[in-house]
Amino acid sequence: MKALLLTGPSGSGKTTLAQLILEKYPQFVFSVSATTRSPRPNEVPGKDYYFLTEAEFDQEIERNGFVEWERLYSGYRYGTLYRELERIQALSQVPLFVKDVKGTLNLQKKLGEGAISVFVLPPSLQVLRERLLQRSPEPPADLEERLARAEFEIQLAPAFSFLLYNDDLDKALRRLEHLIQRHFS
Ligand code: 5GP
């Protein structure tokens, strides 16, 4: 199945890059994840995430509704619903996934050939810390957890199809567009 998978540590810029790609390339459609965390002020349910209660998430696990799921920051769970893949397939568009590193590895295995994975690499852990602090007026309660996980995730970077160094958003976008033109046109 043709698919574009963007991954990288929290704060690497993968979501921003995904938004820019979605604006410019109509063949891609964002795969909306399910999560048990609460919406951030700017997030729209059904567009950014399907916000589920713990009980609703449990029900989806019981009925084998997830392609993959994981427990991440502050114990919240995140997952890719089979239903969501079916929705995108019915649109005859290419799914764009933005997931954590382990979730992306699992998805890549399930989707097989045609799935291109891109690991977005921040210039340094210090830059990552600054980006996470800038993201909202309050530093995230799980900041240290996100940074510790970033160190672990960066070690897994060689497992992906491409590495995308995000020192500068415009440059990273251009590199990503180049890759898309080679693989998806
Ligand atoms: P955030 O809470 O910052 O929106 O997301 C936290 C992390 O969860 C990010 O690295 C994000 O990419 C990842 N994530 C979002 N959706 C999924 C999903 O469906 N599965 C997995 N494994 N990770 C996800």
Quote the ligand 1 centre to 96 CA distance (angstroms).
13
**Mutation probe of ligand 1 site: the residue of 37, 99, 104, 117 with most atoms within 8 A of C-beta:** 99
Residues paired with 94 in a beta bridge = 28
User: Among 28, 73, 76, which Cα is nearest to 52's?
Assistant: 76
User: Among 29, 151, 51, which Cα is nearest to 101's?
Assistant: 151
Q: What is the pLDDT of residue 41?
A: 87
Q: What is the pLDDT of residue 1?
A: 83
Q: What is the pLDDT of residue 134?
A: 86
Q: What is the pLDDT of residue 138?
A: 64
Contact 103, 78 (CB under 8 A): yes
**Pocket-forming residues, ligand 1, beta carbon under 6 Å:** 10, 33, 37, 68, 70, 72-73, 78-80, 98-100, 103
> What is the CATH code of the structural domain delimited by 3-184?
3.40.50.300
**Full-model pTM:** 0.92
**112-121 pLDDT, tens per residue?**
989 999 999 9
Tell me if residue 75 falls in helix, strand or coil: helix
Of all protein residues, the one whose alpha carbon is nearest to atom 9 of ligand 1 is: 100
Q: What is the pLDDT of residue 102?
A: 93
Domain boundaries, the chain: 3-184
Which parts of the chain sit beneath pLDDT 70?
Answer: 136-138
